[in-house]
Amino acid sequence: MVAATPHTLQAPGEDDSGKRRQILAGASRVFLDLGFDGASMGEIARVAGVSKGTLYVYFADKNRLFEAIVEQEALEQGKVLFNYDPGRDVPTTLRDFGQTYIHLLCRPGGGSAIRTVMSIAERMPDVGRRFYQCVIENRINGLATYLDAHVSNGDLAIEDCQHAAAQFIQVCQASLFLPFIFQSAAPPSPERIAQVVESATQMFLAAYRAKPV
């Protein structure tokens, strides 16, 4: 079970030492290879190259360690900046957002944390919920705020900007994310990402661009 008191994401500070990162890297490999149930603190210590005593100095148990891996991925994704300047035109912003987001989502090695979160979300719903809120929902909210500004100035005609933002993100993922996350295909090429995002952009504009009066 997850600890009753939820943790909030915090930026790495002085305690985010090289040893801690070493442990998280080893634990990520073990969780991915053996799953949550199959992973043991002993095996994690072995793969990370530390003693079990050192491991317990940093993490009280396997649940805390798993939560730290999820939070690290959320923080890494949070470092990627998106340009929501309301002065930018909509097509340029959508293309830029879509390509940046898919490159981040489907980067080599980037699927490991997402697969691990998906595999354990039913058992540890607080972890899945926090990952969704801090990563996915944050992206939707940022894009929705930008879209709302362009509804206000008459460029777009959208009743629900949250819904429209989520739609655009999902369409950008079409044919790219699921094959990648299920390891049915390699990370998509920049050319393929640009092609899919351009299609998503044109579909979005066809549905939501304000019609001339």
pLDDT digits (tens, 9 = 90+) for 96-139: 999 999 999 998 877 777 887 887 888 888 888 888 888 899 99
Q: pLDDT-derived band of residue 81, with 50, 70 and 90 as boundaries?
A: confident
Phi, psi at 20, each rounded to 5°: -65, -45
Distance CA 26, CA 95 (A): 36
| Least confident residue range of 114-123, 140-149, 170-179 | 114-123
> Does residue 148 surpass a pLDDT of 80?
yes
Q: pLDDT-derived band of residue 80, with 50, 70 and 90 as boundaries?
A: confident
Rg of the chain on CA atoms, in Å:
20
| Least confident residue range of 27-31, 172-176, 191-195 | 27-31
pLDDT (0 to 100) of residue 130 = 85
pTM above 0.85, yes or no: no
Task: Please state, in angstroms and as integers, the Cα–Cα distance from residue 87 to each residue in 65, 70, 75, 150, 186, following that order.
Answer: 43, 34, 28, 9, 36
pLDDT (0 to 100) of residue 120 = 80
Q: Say which residue, 78 or 209, is predicted with more confidence.
A: 209
